[in-house]
Structure 1
Amino acid sequence: MSSVGWMIVFCEIAFWVVIILGLVARYIFKQKRLGMILLALTPLVDVILLITAGIDLYRGEAATKAHAIAAVYIGVSIAFGKSMIGWADQRFQYYVTKQGEKPRKRYGIEYSKHYFKGWIRHLVAYIIGVGILAGLIFWINDTSRTEALSGIAKIWSLVLGIDLLIAITYFIWPPKEKGISSGS
């Protein structure tokens, strides 16, 4: 695995370690300010990854799938980061500290709307990630060195389209709570 590949693994682990440390500081040690500082460090993880990938490409390396996935990771982290922290925060409060509301499952049109909001976040991640990929392709200006970047952009475009179709189907056939019949 390339240095960028390992950095992606490191950054994903670091992202969740910083979140967990922030939640532990906030709820277990009652250090709300320290917890907030730790949670605010999550964007730093993205900056480290961006710098690593940029240096690698600046040194003349051909762009690999790892470089492309780094752009995807950054887009997803920016678009979903706050909601992932909120998700972790709610579950940490309920399951670890035995406080807060129990995370509830969504059904019906509520689920459909929630999924569609997730698709909007996916679209934002896509715009950011593909923007980074397009910027790298423009910056490198050598199609033989950027094939992996454009390939991942094409795959992600397909995935985004499939995700939209799934979101639409949830409005047509919203998920029902188990054990509840449709009344027919």
Structure 2
Amino acid sequence: MIVTLIIVCEVGFWVLLAAGLATRYLLRMPRTGLGILLMEPLLEIVLLVVTALDLRNGADPSWKHGLAALYIGYTVGHGHRTIKWLDGHAAHRFGGAPPPVKPPRHGAGRARHEGRVWLGTVVGAAVATGLLQLAVRYVGDAARTGSLESWMHTSWRIVAFHGVFALSYALFPRKAPKASAEKDCGREPVSAESGQGGGHR
């Protein structure tokens, strides 16, 4: 049941997102569309309540409850950024707004962007860990909560792996192509025809 509800919440997330954006920009009803978008957290609340009731009714804590906590944490950590990104594109495509600013592709700017995304993963792991800790205390039986504790470790392993990936952009920054770098500095790229022999024509 928990796994099915996670799938329903994920589908519901995208359905509400599509409905909210369509209402805002296609039907020209921004307040109603915003109200639909603000209903997104209700999905996580429903999942949280059902998970708690499942444990209360005597269900043994398992990977399903850990996955539910991880899903809620991920939504808290990254859901707002996803909605904001899609809203910017919808506003540009259907509302006449300027195109959303793309994240930097090279150098320190890209490293800072990846760092901010990683912070969302940290927030998600912290939320998941908090929920799992509450579940462990709620069950109150160390012999039955091993799977919940293993999901705490899993959430922070994900943080570590993502952190290494984000840090790689700072340690090994991607360099912009030479033509782009010269253009950014206000210089035109030097062509073969304007090289050393060009002044003798």
The two structures have a TM-score, normalised by structure 2, of 0.82
Q: Is the 8 A contact 1:4 1:66 kept in 2?
A: yes
Separation in structure 1 between the aligned mates of residue 178 and residue 63 of structure 2, nearest angstrom: 44
Q: Is the 8 A contact 1:112 1:167 kept in 2?
A: yes
Matched letter for residue 85 of structure 1: I
CA apart distance, 1:13: 0.8
Matched residue, 2:65: 67
Matched residue, 2:115: 116
Matched residue, 1:81: 79
- When structure 1 is superposed on structure 2, of 95-104 and 66-75 the one drifting more is 95-104
Q: Is the 8 A contact 1:91 1:103 kept in 2?
A: no
- When structure 1 is superposed on structure 2, of 93-102 and 163-172 the one drifting more is 93-102
Q: Is the 8 A contact 1:63 1:146 kept in 2?
A: yes
- When structure 1 is superposed on structure 2, of 144-153 and 131-140 the one drifting more is 144-153
Separation in structure 2 between the aligned mates of residue 96 and residue 65 of structure 1, nearest angstrom: 42
Q: Is the 8 A contact 1:94 1:102 kept in 2?
A: yes
1:131 maps to 2:130: yes
Matched letter for residue 154 of structure 1: H
SS of equivalent residue, structure 1 residue 91: helix
Matched residue, 1:94: 92
Deviation string 1:15-66 (CA, Å, 9 cap, x unpaired) is 1111110000000000001001001001101101001111111101011211
Matched residue, 2:27: 29
Matched residue, 1:15: 13
Superposed structure 1 runs of 4+ greater than 6 Å apart: 178-183
SS of equivalent residue, structure 1 residue 62: coil
CA shift in 2, pair 1:180/1:147, >3 Å: farther
The two structures have a TM-score, normalised by structure 1, of 0.89
Matched letter for residue 112 of structure 1: A
CA apart distance, 1:79: 2.0
Max radius of gyration: which structure?
Answer: 2
Structure 1 vs Structure 2 CA RMSD: 2.2
Q: Is the 8 A contact 2:76 2:124 kept in 1?
A: yes
Deviation string 1:57-87 (CA, Å, 9 cap, x unpaired) is 1101011211111111111212222111101
Separation in structure 2 between the aligned mates of residue 120 and residue 8 of structure 1, nearest angstrom: 23
- When structure 1 is superposed on structure 2, of 74-83 and 128-137 the one drifting more is 74-83
CA apart distance, 1:110: 1.2
Q: Is the 8 A contact 1:72 1:125 kept in 2?
A: yes
Deviation string 1:126-179 (CA, Å, 9 cap, x unpaired) is 111101001101110123322221111112221211211222211011234568
